[in-house]
Amino acid sequence: MRDRILWILSLVFIAWMVWAETSFQFFEHDLAQGSALQPGAMALLGCAFLLPYGLVQIPVGWLLDRRQVDRLLLLGGVAAASFTLVFSRGESFQALLLSRAGMGLACAVAFPASGLLARRSLPQERFALAMGFTDSLLGLGATFAALMPLLIGSQNWRLLVQVQSLSLAVLVVLPLALLAWSRPSLKRSSSAPTSEPEGSPNPRQLLQGALMYAWGGGLLFGLGQYALISRLRGWNTDLQVQATLLLSLGISVSMVLSGALAKRPQRRSGLLLVGSLLATISLFALGSPAGGGELQRLAGAGLGLGIGTSVMAFPMAEEAAAPGKTAFVVALVNTCGTVSGGLMMLISGLLLQLSSAEGLPLAMGLYGVFTAAGIPLALWIKRSEPQLSGRH
């Protein structure tokens, strides 16, 4: 029961993390104007969260497999709330950069801890669905981030960030502290997984899972929830927000469905192939003139549905890992997605400094190739399915 409560709190932590990270795109224009920052500097601020968040997850995952999860979650929550508050008060570029990097470092515990707690508190056959639901919070958190400017406006971004810091303290840090105070942490022997998958580690399947999530993360974070394409095409704010909402909802729906279907390994290559084709078609639909925006909204939903299939990387990696390495492999896969997204975000920042006539063809070509890369990956996984069937 304790692990189940901790798992729920970790899900709230993840949803908050996505809200805090994604909301940056909605107030970055006001932040840039107020601080007189160039697009390259803003891109650096954007990836300052993702790169530390992704890179530190591997050692954090290693620690989670060997230490008490509740204490690490509490430490991460306190640090994340504190760095968020510091970010809201930052005046110089250096202060903003360091505090945002601190937010990423502090949040690194959330996702691998959630994967480990899901593995401990749920039956093995539900792990894929649990990870699909967990990763679908990416879309729900981004949806909430898109709605907030409509509710309170984006001009006073410091107030929004302060609200984020307070929300994390109340929703995550306080319950974790009360849980730790009311009942001491259980020993590993009482919270260890009740069963472990049989079989030896499968490095090739682990690599396939890592590449799959690098594909999805690179597209999602690199495109910046439409910030890149919408600016190069001159979309108005309403169209950007509406397309972002549909993209985020599409991701959430796709991740839950993919998680439910991915418990059978034979389905994964087909799902990824369909998702990659859908994402590729939707991406190039964004290159057409905005017009009334109907095509862009439809393409947003299609792109989200396609990218969401990358969540199958987590059950693939967990099955391929050695027993007792759940948090480590979840962190490894998530690191591949966030680092890929951070690097693509840097490239996007450079493209934003070009004019629309120069930047749009380069952006569409780059992301078109990246999106289509899911097709050969799906075919490679398809060739591996006979061996996977033997393992399962």
Q: Are 192 and 327 in contact (CB under 8 A)?
A: no
Q: Are 134 and 7 in contact (CB under 8 A)?
A: no
Could you give the CA distance from residue 290 to residue 233 in angstroms, rounded to a whole number?
8
- Please say whether the dihedral angle defined by the alpha carbons of residues 329, 17, 216 and 363, taken in this order, is positive or negative: negative
In this structure, what token pair is assigned to residue 374? 């899911």
- Tell me: pLDDT of 273 over 90: yes
pLDDT, average across residues 121-127: 85
Could you give the CA distance from residue 229 to residue 154 in angstroms, rounded to a whole number?
20
Kindly report, residue by residue over 160-178, the tens digit of the pLDDT: 899 999 999 999 999 999 9
In this structure, what token pair is assigned to residue 96? 């903003």
Q: Show Cβ contacts of residue 247 under 8 Å, excluding neighbours closer than 6 positions.
A: 139, 142, 225, 226, 300, 301, 303, 304
pLDDT, position 138: 77
pLDDT, position 168: 96
Confidence class for position 86, pLDDT limits 50, 70, 90: very high
User: 149: which DSSP letter?
Assistant: H
> Over pLDDT 90: what percentage of the chain?
36
**Nearest 5°: CA angle at 291, between 288 and 296?**
55
pLDDT, average across residues 125-143: 84
* Most confidently predicted of 130-139, 189-198, 328-337: 328-337
Mean pLDDT of the chain: 83
Kindly report, residue by residue over 194-227, the tens digit of the pLDDT: 444 455 678 899 999 999 999 998 988 887 656 6
What are the domain boundaries of the chain? Answer: 2-183+201-391
The amino acid at residue 30 is: D
pLDDT, position 377: 95
pLDDT, position 224: 66
DSSP character string of 247-266: HHHHHHHHHHHHHHHTTSGG
Could you give the CA distance from residue 159 to residue 252 in angstroms, rounded to a whole number?
28
Q: Which residue has the higher pLDDT, 277 or 31?
A: 277
Q: Is 68 helix (H, G, I), strand (E, B) or coil?
A: coil
Give strand ranges (E) for 128-241. none
Kindly report, residue by residue over 71-81, the tens digit of the pLDDT: 999 999 999 99
> Over pLDDT 70: what percentage of the chain?
87
Q: Are 105 and 56 in contact (CB under 8 A)?
A: yes
- Tell me: pLDDT of 192 over 80: no
Q: Which residue has the higher pLDDT, 296 or 231?
A: 296
Q: Show Cβ contacts of residue 271 under 8 Å, excluding neighbours closer than 6 positions.
A: 258, 261, 262, 309, 312
Kindly report, residue by residue over 26-65, the tens digit of the pLDDT: 787 778 777 777 767 777 887 788 788 888 999 999 999 8
CATH code for the domain defined by 2-183+201-391: 1.20.1250.20
pLDDT, position 269: 92
Q: How many CB atoms lie within 10 A of CB 103?
A: 27
pLDDT, average across residues 378-385: 89
In order of 54, 176, 326, the CA distances from 65 in angstroms are: 18, 19, 7
Confidence class for position 186, pLDDT limits 50, 70, 90: very low
In order of 100, 119, 126, 190, 303, the CA distances from 1 in angstroms are: 34, 13, 17, 11, 38
In this structure, what token pair is assigned to residue 117? 């707690």
- Tell me: pLDDT of 233 over 80: no
pLDDT, position 35: 77
pLDDT, average across residues 356-371: 81
- Tell me: pLDDT of 386 over 90: no
Q: Which residue has the higher pLDDT, 14 or 362?
A: 14
End-to-end distance of the chain based on CA atoms, in angstroms?
Answer: 29
- Tell me: pLDDT of 234 over 80: no
DSSP character string of 262-293: TTSGGGHHHHHHHHHHHHHHHHHHTTS--TTS
**Nearest 5°: CA angle at 313, between 141 and 79?**
45
Confidence class for position 152, pLDDT limits 50, 70, 90: low
